[in-house]
């Protein structure tokens, strides 16, 4: 991830917006949309894109008023007419191309089935279909995949163009066209095309062709017979512009995992809904999962499909630290929806819950006993600790995996939405029921008020790799996770994000990814990776070399923090102009402190957060924290005054290098440090193992040993001979003072580190100055003693 720092913006903070939404200050490395549109044109569609420049020219061609620059009703009619023509052009092309793709998929399906049937029905001695036939089918499917990819890019780019030109119109003319045009868009919804059904059909066909008519079958939970393996799970954010392309890339390597292959795909089949529980008084489960403490739990109720689903899964996820030798576990059991309320209220005991399962005998007694124990523990926790529903997450999941091989499992969650489920503010959202019933799976849930919902702006990609010891993951997976299509966000949690966003007045400890939510994650294409047509190195593009007129409308820029377009296919000239090693650009930035932290919580102490926490606790703790805070502020102010009063060389602002100018232009660079609002703190995950405590103790004992040596030298000098000289007395005093200072310093550092480790704070555990200062003092003391002793003996 490229994070640059502008020294003039260090003190700026990200804000807490309305409806509990947190927003970071976005980067302003910009590209004009008109230039982006020209550089992303696909040749087949080049005459069907929105005429963005023509519409902009219409806005600048006002004819009314005395000066001839006032926007009139005639101007509005002329502009709306041209806009309607552009919408009709784009919508017609999208419809025609979508029908063509659908027909091509149907024809390919018949051809694939014909070839596969010939292969399966061939008799003894018959050759069956040739390898060349399968290769031709694969090329044809690859071409269809490229068509779906290009259509998705075409739709996305035009939708962005319409949105931007309407926003520009409303701003420049003062006439509000957006509400009326929304109605026209709904009548011609070219942008609402869902490619999931096409992706699943193409996945089945491509898998048949790739495996030459023998797709892998088996249990999707199987581990491939591995006895010694390493499991690694990483999460990534995917920009909506890249979702379809990512799906099409993955399906060429892994089939879409379908649990019921005989059933025609429906959108509800991919819907997953979970309701998370917590104690709204202390948010025990939220903070435990955020801090990743040993044994931290998450309790949720999950169902698949629509609200009419009768089977509900009660799940508990338990986090285990690596040093325990155990793995984090997720356990669950199924319950009928009609029994959920009585179970959570304690009216239906686990023994009665599994009585029917025992009678039917479909599961072993051991499995039933484990489910019953889990049900008892979860029911006890809910009743004893006062857990209540607080947050619902909804998303549509596309899973990719070989049915009998769990070495590579990839899931992509789109349309991720978090919804409040609580009754904390007096509103009866779910009442006495275990879930609210006013919503289902009808994304985007437009009937909900803004304070009840958070629509996550990105898709979430989860890559699970289960490889043997010493074995590298597949090359295509490594290319995928290092490509421009994804942004790694380790330890991202839907529960944590939803709770932090939906309860801004109650949650004060925020996840580390929160300030970056409104930073555009799109990146330039770093290497030749993506969808290609058979026999071509990439999809053909066209671009216009004419310069676009530059205006001062900031709404007409696409914020690209990572510099460069990622829509469709960039021009070759554009790719050559941007260095591929974008992370390396930060080394040339002017910095005043190499230890400058990205987050304010990297510092051990945050006076605003500590003071707010102390105010909530009250009593003597608050007054002591208040005094400490004021003392720190006074000390910091005194230091700042001294810095300005005492003469010292001042740094000179270094102008940007040619590389920085090429990458960022003359615009402001995104600030590096994110600072939370007052009373809140960004929590950076800190991994604590038992050996960390032992290391702190060993370091303290090392300092103690050093102090004892210095003290022994002092005692020896003081007691050497019957009558010590004044010189030996003062020298012994210096060594004694040094030993005492070493002891005090080591005790202070040990207490500081121990408290930071216990509180899992992201403090600096290295000692930057202590060893150097004490060793220098020891050298000075020895040298001084040597010099004075030589003078006393009249050697010099």
Give the CATH number, domain containing residue 317: 3.20.100.30
Q: 17 lies in a domain?
A: no
pLDDT in tens, 726-777: 777 777 888 888 888 888 988 988 888 888 887 777 667 778 788 888 888 8
Cβ neighbours around 164 below 10 Å, total: 22
Same-domain check for residues 437 and 388:
yes
pLDDT in tens, 359-371: 888 788 888 899 9
Q: 189 lies in a domain?
A: yes
Distance CA 45, CA 244 (A): 18
Tell me which range, 231-240, 387-396, 473-482, 694-703, is most confidently predicted by mean pLDDT.
387-396
Q: Does residue 136 have a pLDDT over 50? A: yes
Q: 289 lies in a domain?
A: yes
More confident residue, 191 or 724: 191
How far is residue 25 from each of residues 16, 243, 280, 335, 669, measured CA to CA in Å?
11, 25, 30, 45, 11
pLDDT in tens, 673-686: 566 677 777 877 77
The strand ranges marked E within 528-680 are 541-542, 557-559
pLDDT band at 562 (very low <50, low <70, confident <90, very high): very low
Q: How many CA atoms lie within 13 A of 328 on its CB side?
A: 18
Same-domain check for residues 186 and 249:
no
Same-domain check for residues 300 and 390:
yes
Cβ neighbours around 729 below 10 Å, total: 11
Distance CA 268, CA 418 (A): 18
pLDDT band at 404 (very low <50, low <70, confident <90, very high): low
Same-domain check for residues 73 and 162:
yes
pLDDT band at 525 (very low <50, low <70, confident <90, very high): confident
Domain boundary among 646, 664, 682: 664
Quick one: pLDDT at residue 274? 94
Q: 435 lies in a domain?
A: yes
**Domain containing 300: what range?**
233-480
pLDDT in tens, 9-55: 334 444 444 344 444 433 334 457 777 777 778 888 888 888 888 88
pLDDT in tens, 151-165: 888 888 888 888 888
The average confidence (pLDDT) of the chain is 76
Q: Does residue 4 have a pLDDT over 50? A: no
Q: 553 lies in a domain?
A: no
CA 395 to chain centre: 16
Quick one: pLDDT at residue 468? 65
pLDDT band at 536 (very low <50, low <70, confident <90, very high): low
CB 456 within 8 A of CB 416: yes
Same-domain check for residues 132 and 75:
yes
pLDDT in tens, 212-221: 776 666 544 4
Quick one: pLDDT at residue 470? 59
548-562: average pLDDT: 38
Q: Does residue 222 have a pLDDT over 60? A: no
Task: Please give the tally of structural domains in the chain.
Answer: 4
Q: 573 lies in a domain?
A: no
Same-domain check for residues 201 and 96:
yes
Q: Does residue 573 have a pLDDT over 60? A: no
Quick one: pLDDT at residue 5? 36
Domain boundary among 454, 480, 506: 480
Q: 571 lies in a domain?
A: no
Same-domain check for residues 304 and 377:
yes
Same-domain check for residues 335 and 436:
yes
Q: Does residue 588 have a pLDDT over 70? A: no
pTM above 0.75, yes or no: no
Domain boundary among 155, 187, 215: 215
Quick one: pLDDT at residue 608? 61
More confident residue, 259 or 272: 272
Strands 541-542 and 487-488 come out as unpaired
Same-domain check for residues 391 and 272:
yes
Distance CA 521, CA 485 (A): 9
Same-domain check for residues 325 and 445:
yes
Residues 6+ apart with CB under 8 A from 216: 402, 403, 404, 405
Q: Which of 413, 468, 419 is nearest to 235 (CA)?
A: 413
pLDDT in tens, 74-131: 888 888 888 889 889 999 998 899 899 889 888 988 888 888 888 877 765 666 777 7
User: Helices 178-187 and 73-120: crossing angle, nearest 10°?
Assistant: 30
Same-domain check for residues 208 and 240:
no
* Residues labelled as active-site residues: 494
Q: 710 lies in a domain?
A: yes
Same-domain check for residues 181 and 300:
no
241-245: average pLDDT: 87
């Amino acid at each position: 991830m490229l994070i640059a720092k502008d020294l003039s913006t260090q003190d700026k903070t990200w804000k807490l917006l309305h409806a509990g939404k947190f927003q970071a200050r976005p980067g302003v490395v910009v590209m004009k949309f008109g230039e982006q549109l020209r550089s992303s044109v696909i040749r087949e569609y080049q005459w069907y894109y929105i005429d963005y420049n023509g519409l902009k020219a219409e806005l600048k061609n006002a004819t009314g008023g005395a000066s001839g620059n006032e926007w009139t009703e005639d101007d509005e009619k002329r502009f709306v007419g041209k806009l309607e023509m552009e919408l009709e052009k784009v919508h017609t092309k999208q419809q025609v191309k979508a029908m063509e793709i659908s027909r091509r998929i149907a024809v390919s399906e018949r051809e694939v089935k014909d070839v596969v049937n010939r292969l399966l029905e061939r008799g003894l001695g018959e050759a069956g279909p040739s390898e060349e036939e399968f290769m031709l089918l694969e090329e044809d499917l690859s071409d269809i995949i490229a068509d779906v990819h290009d259509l998705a890019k075409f739709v996305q780019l035009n939708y962005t163009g319409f949105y931007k030109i309407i926003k520009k119109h409303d701003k420049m003319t003062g006439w509000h066209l957006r509400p009326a045009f929304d109605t026209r868009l709904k009548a011609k919804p070219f942008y609402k095309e869902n490619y999931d059904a096409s992706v699943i059909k193409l996945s089945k066909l491509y898998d048949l062709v790739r495996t030459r008519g023998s797709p892998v079958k088996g249990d999707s939970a199987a581990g491939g017979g591995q006895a010694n393996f390493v499991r690694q799970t990483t999460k990534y954010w995917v920009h909506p512009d890249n979702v379809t392309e990512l799906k099409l890339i993955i399906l060429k390597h892994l089939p879409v995992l379908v649990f019921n292959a005989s059933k025609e795909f429906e959108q509800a089949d991919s819907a997953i809904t979970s309701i998370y529980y917590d104690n709204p008084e202390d948010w025990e489960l939220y903070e435990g999962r955020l801090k990743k403490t040993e044994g931290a739990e998450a309790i949720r109720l999950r169902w698949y499909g629509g609200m009419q689903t009768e089977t509900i899964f009660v799940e508990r996820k338990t986090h285990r630290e690596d040093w325990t030798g155990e793995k984090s576990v997720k356990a669950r059991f199924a319950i009928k929806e009609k029994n959920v309320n009585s179970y959570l209220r304690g009216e239906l005991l686990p023994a009665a819950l599994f009585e029917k399962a025992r009678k039917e005998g479909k599961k072993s007694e051991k499995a039933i006993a484990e489910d019953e124990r889990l049900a008892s523990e979860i029911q006890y926790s809910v009743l004893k600790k006062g857990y209540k529903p607080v947050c619902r997450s909804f998303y549509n999941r596309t899973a990719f995996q070989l049915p009998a091989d769990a070495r590579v499992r990839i899931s992509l969650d789109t349309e991720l939405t978090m919804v409040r489920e609580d009754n904390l503010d007096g509103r009866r959202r779910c009442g006495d029921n275990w879930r609210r019933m006013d919503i289902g799976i009808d994304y985007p849930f437009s009937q909900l008020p803004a304070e009840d919902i958070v629509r996550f702006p990105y898709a979430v990609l989860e890559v699970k790799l289960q490889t043997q010891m010493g074995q590298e993951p597949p090359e295509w997976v490594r290319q995928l996770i290092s490509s421009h299509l994804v942004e790694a966000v380790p330890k991202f949690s839907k529960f944590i994000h939803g709770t932090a966003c939906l309860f801004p007045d109650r949650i004060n400890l925020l996840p580390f990814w929160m300030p970056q939510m409104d930073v555009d994650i799109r990146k330039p294409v770093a290497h030749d990776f993506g969808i290609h047509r058979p026999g071509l190195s990439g999809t053909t593009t066209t671009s216009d070399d004419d310069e676009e007129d530059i205006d001062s409308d900031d709404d007409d820029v696409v914020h690209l923090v990572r510099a460069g377009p990622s829509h469709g296919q960039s021009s070759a000239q554009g790719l050559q102009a941007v260095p591929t090693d974008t992370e390396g650009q930060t080394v040339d930035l002017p910095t005043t402190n190499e230890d400058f932290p990205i987050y304010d919580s990297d510092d051990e102490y945050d006076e605003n957060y500590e003071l707010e926490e102390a105010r909530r606790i009250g009593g003597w703790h608050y007054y002591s924290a208040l005094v400490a805070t004021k003392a720190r502020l006074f000390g910091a102010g005194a230091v700042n005054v001294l810095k300005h009063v005492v003469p010292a060389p001042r740094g000179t602002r270094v102008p940007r290098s040619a590389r920085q100018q090429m990458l960022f232009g003359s615009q402001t660079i995104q600030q590096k440090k994110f600072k939370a609002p007052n009373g809140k703190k960004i929590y950076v995950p800190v991994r604590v193992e038992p050996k960390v405590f032992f290391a702190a103790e060993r370091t303290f004992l090392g300092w103690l040993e050093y102090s004892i040596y210095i003290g022994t030298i002092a005692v020896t000098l003081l007691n050497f001979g019957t009558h010590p000289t004044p010189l030996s007395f003062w020298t012994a005093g210096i060594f004694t003072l040094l030993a005492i200072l070493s002891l005090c310093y080591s005790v202070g550092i040990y207490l500081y580190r121990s408290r930071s480790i216990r509180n899992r704070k992201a403090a600096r555990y290295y000692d930057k100055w202590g060893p150097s200062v004490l060793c220098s003092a020891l050298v000075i003391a020895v040298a001084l003693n040597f010099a004075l002793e030589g003078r006393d003996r009249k050697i010099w």
